[in-house]
Structure formats: C-alpha cells, structure tokens
C-alpha cells in the first residue's frame, strides 16, 4: 500500500526517534527525519508535507511557522516530553465567518469542544 500521509520529524532527538520508529510500522505513513537546522530555501517542497512533528525543547514554534505559512493544510505538532505535553497548530483559514460563527467558535473553545467543522 502506498503511503497516504507524509510526516516529517523535524530534528533528531530521542523522543522524535521513538515516535518515528512507531510510525514507520504503519504503511500509510511516509516518515522522514530532517536534522536541524534547515534553511528555508531548502523547503520548496513543504507543500508535500502533511504533518510536521518537532521537539518543543529543541525547536521553538516560531522556527517552524514558516512551513505553516507555506502550506496552510499542514498540521504542526510540538511535543514536550518532560511535561508530557503536545501542542497543535493548524493554518486552516475560515472565510466568511459571521460574528455568530465567531462566538460559537469562542464558546466551543472555552468549553473544550474545539471544532471548526461545526461552523459550516
């Protein structure tokens, strides 16, 4: 079966190595590891990445936001193994958002029901 999702592990830390080893067992994922630092000019193919995972202790989120700007469909996942915390960033754009839709989004977020799919 051909891989349907391309996952980039941005960095070479123990936690990313462990995650990569686990993900490589599944044929639906193509897992690529990139060592730091990478020049932005080397990322002309960033639109071919579905998910970018990085270690929050070694890479600041600002360093990978470039990829989100280049590909709004990209999902950024930052992992902090010391506090067992995962942060997600998405570049999904919402067009024609009414004030009622914005309030619904804010209320859902406040209640822990974050979902932009329920707006339309």
What pLDDT is stored for residue 1 in this prediction? 60
pTM for the model stands at 0.73
Residues 43-97: pLDDT tens digits?
Answer: 555 568 889 999 999 987 787 888 888 888 888 999 998 998 888 888 776 777 7
- Secondary structure (3-state) at 14: helix
Average pLDDT over residues 5-24: 92
In whole angstroms, what is the distance from residue 118 CA to residue 21 CA?
A: 35
Residues 22-48: pLDDT tens digits?
Answer: 999 999 999 998 876 666 555 555 568
Beta bridge partners of 29: 5
The torsion angles phi and psi of 6, rounded to 5 degrees, stand at -105, 120
All domains of the chain, ordered by start, with CATH?
A: 5-93 (3.40.50.11220)
| Nearest CA-CA partner of 64 in 24, 100, 91 | 91
What pLDDT is stored for residue 7 in this prediction? 92
Contact 32, 10 (CB under 8 A): no
């Amino acid at each position: 079966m051909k891989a349907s999702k391309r996952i980039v592990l941005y960095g070479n830390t123990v936690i990313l190595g462990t995650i990569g080893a686990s993900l490589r067992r599944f044929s639906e994922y193509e897992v690529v590891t990139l060592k730091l630092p990478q020049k932005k000019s080397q990322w002309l193919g960033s639109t071919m990445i579905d998910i970018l995972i990085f270690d929050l202790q070694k890479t600041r989120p600002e360093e990978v936001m470039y990829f989100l700007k280049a590909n709004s469909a990209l999902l950024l996942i930052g992992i902090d193994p010391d506090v067992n915390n995962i942060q997600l960033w998405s570049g999904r754009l919402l067009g024609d958002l009414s004030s009622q839709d914005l309030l619904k989004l804010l209320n859902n977020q406040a209640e822990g029901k974050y979902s932009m799919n329920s707006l339309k």
